[in-house]
């Protein structure tokens, strides 16, 4: 059965005159009924469907919401000439982000479909389409470059990937497609332009990031990207794929994550000593490690007590044990740590293929 489609954005309903917004809503539903079977698709529906606060500033939105609800309530079911209403939003249904849709509005919809952010394979397909749209092809290395980019764009959605590729196309101009420039565009897109670094600080940062990468590999995961090109507020960083696709972690996997977090500080301390190694550069790593420790004892009940609240001493002992484990791994593979530091300081950035080849040569 063919159906007429009426796509719109919720913001398109709003008018400057009194009653214009409500009239626009009624007109759309009237047209959809007239030419049924039909589909109404409303993007960014949170513009009218957000939770009502009762404040004077929200009166205009409440009028629009009431008009929309009235139209949905006014449907007479005709199985031969149905009108389907689809809506899309970035707002939550459970309120975890603090951005909530109005419950009365949500109840009008029979089904709620959660669409997660694209995974690596999804991003690969989306990037292929984006590049094709701009007429960009990397020749024999096309698949490898796009796959590498897909691995490095975790957390980005379709719109982000489209904007990224458009930005790359502008930077490329009439030049030959260049995978390195594509990756450079990604880093600039996410973190800003390059900062200048003192050579000594760059070397110490390379040691820090090499520590992260080495322990990551020793814990069973190969990093997808490693860099000491400073952008925004960071000196360098490591990216890695998730340990599993289930979204759940065992106790051992959580402790591996703790070690990975602590590895940068541990590497600096081992190579440069406590006076230089204990610096503020590892602050975000320490926060993440603390989170995993506390979560393992508290929310995940992986300690000795299933219900009782864990004690600070228990968390401290567990953190110290994982730090000692991290130090032991780095000491055992100190020569590899030094060689990876040299390579990273020279190349500035290492992709997954280069890292895998390096660790394979090191028999790790």
* Rg of the chain over all Cα atoms, to the nearest angstrom: 27
Among 151, 215, 212, 260, CA closest to 364: 215
Q: Cα–Cα distance between 250 and 252 in angstroms, integer?
A: 5
Only one residue has tokens 């790593």, namely: 285
8, β-bridge pairs = 42
The token pair at 61 is: 């939105």
Q: Cα–Cα distance between 208 and 67 in angstroms, integer?
A: 58
With beta carbons less than 8 A apart as the criterion, state whether 125 and 153 touch. no
Give pairs for 11-15: CB < 8 Å, separation 24+.
Answer: 11/44, 11/47, 13/47, 13/48, 13/64, 14/47, 14/60, 14/64
Q: Is 76 left (phi over 0), alpha (psi -120 to 50) or beta?
A: beta
Going across the sheet that includes 223-227, the strands are 237-240, 223-227, 349-351
With beta carbons less than 8 A apart as the criterion, state whether 120 and 154 touch. yes
Active site members: 209
SS3 of residue 198 by DSSP? coil
With beta carbons less than 8 A apart as the criterion, state whether 172 and 136 touch. yes
Q: Cα–Cα distance between 358 and 213 in angstroms, integer?
A: 11
User: Which DSSP letter does residue 195 get?
Assistant: P
């Amino acid at each position: 059965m063919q159906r007429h489609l009426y796509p719109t954005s919720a913001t398109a309903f709003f008018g400057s005159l009194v009653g214009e917004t409500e009239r626009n809503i009624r007109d759309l539903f009237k047209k959809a009924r007239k030419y049924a079977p039909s589909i109404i698709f409303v993007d960014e529906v949170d513009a009218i469907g957000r939770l009502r606060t009762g404040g004077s500033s929200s009166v205009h939105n409440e009028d629009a919401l009431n008009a929309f609800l009235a139209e949905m309530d006014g449907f007479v079911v005709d199985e031969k000439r149905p009108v389907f209403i689809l809506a899309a939003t970035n707002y939550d249904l459970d309120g975890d982000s603090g951005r909530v849709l109005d419950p009365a509005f949500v109840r009008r919809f029979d089904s709620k479909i959660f669409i997660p952010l694209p995974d690596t394979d999804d991003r690969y397909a989306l990037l292929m389409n984006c590049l094709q749209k701009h007429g960009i092809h990397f020749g024999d290395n096309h698949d490898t470059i796009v796959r590498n980019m897909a691995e490095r764009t975790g957390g980005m959605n379709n719109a982000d990937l489209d904007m990224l590729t458009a930005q790359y196309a502008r930077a490329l101009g009439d030049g030959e497609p260049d995978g390195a420039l594509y990756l450079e565009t990604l880093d600039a897109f996410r973190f800003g332009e390059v900062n200048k670094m003192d050579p000594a600080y760059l070397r110490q940062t390379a040691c820090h990031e090499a520590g992260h990468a080495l322990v990551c590999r020793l814990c069973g995961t190969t990093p997808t990207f490693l860099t000491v090109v400073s952008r925004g507020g960071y000196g360098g960083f490591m990216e890695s794929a998730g340990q599993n696709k289930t979204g759940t972690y065992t106790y051992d996997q959580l402790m591996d994550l703790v070690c990975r977090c602590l590895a940068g500080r541990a590497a600096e301390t081992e190579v440069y000593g406590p006076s230089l190694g204990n610096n503020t550069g590892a602050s975000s790593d320490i926060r993440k490690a603390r989170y995993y420790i506390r979560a393992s004892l508290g929310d995940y009940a992986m300690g000795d007590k299933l219900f009782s609240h864990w004690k600070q001493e228990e968390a401290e002992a567990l953190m110290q044990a994982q730090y000692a484990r991290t130090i032991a791994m780095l000491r055992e593979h100190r020569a590899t740590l030094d060689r990876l530091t040299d390579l990273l300081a020279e190349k500035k950035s290492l992709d997954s293929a280069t890292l895998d080849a390096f660790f394979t040569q090191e028999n790790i």
